[in-house]
Amino acid sequence: MDGKPLILVVEQNFHNLELLNSHLKTLNYSCICAMQGVKAVILAQTHKPDLILLDMMLSDLSGSQIINYLKQNQKTATIPIIAVMPFNLVEKYNHLFLTGADDHITKPYNFRRLEIVLGRYLSQLNTSNLPWE
């Protein structure tokens, strides 16, 4: 690609997808986007992103199904997956970390928290462009 870390953004809500895509580009990340789980799996296998932001509430596949599939696939097993879920459902999804999600963020999006989580997993790839340095 262009040397920037590549993030696969999987978000069912078009407005949220556009908002995330725009914000991530201002942080100097490259993005590919999907609104459905099947497309996300295909994009992950094809592009091998550096990180996946995964909405857990998709219409075609559950976030847990996607995580399980990607973590069991040799091509995608090492890609960090950040689960995205509504704030009021965090307790319900505590099992995510047992199924392979590396971290989580909540909706509505807190961009400062998002930047911190991304930095945790991508800082070695893009240290000169982190907003807090």
List alpha helices for the chain, DSSP H: 14-26, 37-47, 63-72, 96-99, 111-126
pLDDT in tens, 43-64: 999 999 999 999 988 989 988 8
What residues make up the domain containing 40? 6-123
Q: Is the pLDDT of residue 117 over 80?
A: yes
18 assigned to some structural domain: yes
57 assigned to some structural domain: yes
For residue 113, which of 70, 72, 82 has the smallest C-alpha distance? 82
Q: Is the pLDDT of residue 72 over 80?
A: yes
Token pair listed for 11: 């978000």
39 assigned to some structural domain: yes
Residue pair 25/18 in contact by the 8 Å Cβ criterion: no
Give the chain's domain count.
1
Token pair listed for 31: 């993005």
Distance of alpha carbon 84 from the chain centroid: 7
131 assigned to some structural domain: no
* CATH number assigned to the domain comprising residue 117: 3.40.50.2300
The side-by-side arrangement of strands in the sheet containing 51-55 is: 30-34, 6-10, 51-55, 81-86, 103-107
130 assigned to some structural domain: no
Q: What Cα–Cα distance (Å) separates residue 18 from each residue in 78, 125, 130?
A: 26, 24, 21
Q: Is 96 exposed, middle or buried (0-12, 13-18, 19+ CB in 10 A)?
A: buried
25 assigned to some structural domain: yes
49 assigned to some structural domain: yes
87 assigned to some structural domain: yes
- Average pLDDT, integer, range 72-87: 90
| pLDDT in the model for residue 87 | 63
